[in-house]
Amino acid sequence: MREIVFDTETTGLNPQTGDRLVEIGCVELVNRVETGRVFHSYCNPERSMPPEAQAVHGLSEAFLADKPLFEDICEDLLDFLEDSPLVAHNAVFDFAFLNNELGNCGRLHIGNARMIDTLTMARTRHPGAKHSLDALCVRFGIDRSHRVKHGALLDAQLLAQIYVELTGGRQIGLMLAADESTLVAEAVMHHEPIGGRRQRAPRPHAASEAELARHQAFIAKLTDPLWTVTGASG
């Protein structure tokens, strides 16, 4: 199963009042495992950067001035996303900005049916606890020492690890679906490789003549062994 974990950085909190997306980072997961494929881009928002927003992510107007517009990266982004479920922390916020940018480009919005919100998952699993990205990294023992400021790709990579923990932990890959277990059983029966690994030949396990002789000598020393008693009731 393919899923995309993503995060955005913006000029503010509300796209309906003119705030824009300035960075997006995406991480590809297949069966809850990072594949190494990512998508990352900064975007020129064509507007000023409020000081309070810059304090969060460190992206200045000067830095973003020569970056592509969202419309310039739109096709590459959609090609990367495909039709996969999209995982985000406080996903309503990220979806609002992403869909606002898509709408500005004349593209269809991404439906909420594709939304997976790790904030909702964390609140359900750990009610009353702190649910920020930093707090969840601490809870699950995920190294965030390199996170000085918010960054879309870095935060998406951290969130990918959090999402794995929220959906079963690092050992989730040890669980086999019913169809997978059937395939494994059939492979064992036919001595075929599983997952590309060659199976070892069965080890000899029959007793040798010397072992059988020692066993008979041991049995001969027993006095009235149970299996020789006649008339015993079950």
186 is in an annotated binding site: no
Does 9 belong to an annotated binding site?
yes
Angle, to 10 degrees, between the axis of helix 133-140 and the axis of helix 152-166?
50
The Cα–Cα gap between 113 and 133 comes to 23
pLDDT for res 116: 98
Quick one: three-class SS letters along 83-122? Answer: CCCEEECCHHHHHHHHHHHHHHCCCCCCCHHHEEEHHHHH
Q: What is the pLDDT along the chain (234 residues), one digit of tens a residue?
A: 999 999 999 999 999 999 999 999 999 999 999 999 999 999 999 999 999 999 999 999 999 999 999 999 999 999 999 999 999 999 999 999 999 999 999 999 999 999 999 999 999 999 999 999 999 999 999 998 888 778 999 999 999 999 999 998 765 444 444 444 444 444 444 444 444 455 566 666 677 788 788 878 888 888 877 766 655 444
Grouping H, G, I as helix, E, B as strand and the rest as coil, residue 157 is helix
The reply, when asked if residue 52 is annotated as ligand binding, is yes
Looking up tokens 């950067």 gives: 49
Estimate the crossing angle of helix 91-104 against helix 70-81, to 10 degrees.
120
Task: Determine the Cα–Cα distance for residues 207 and 18; give it in Å rounded to an integer.
Answer: 81
In angstroms, rounded to a whole number, what is the distance separating the alpha carbons of residues 53 and 123? Answer: 26
In the chain, the N- to C-terminal Cα span, in Å, equals 56
Is 7 annotated in some ligand binding site? yes
Is 146 labeled as catalytic in the residue annotation? Answer: no
Sign of CA dihedral 172, 178, 180, 182: positive
The sheet that has 86-88: what strands, in order across it? 33-42, 21-30, 2-10, 86-88, 115-117
Q: Which pLDDT value is given to residue 194?
A: 45
- In the chain, the amino acid numbered 215 is H
> Do the annotations mark residue 180 as ligand-binding?
no
Choosing from 126, 150, 190, 215, which is the catalytic residue?
Answer: 150
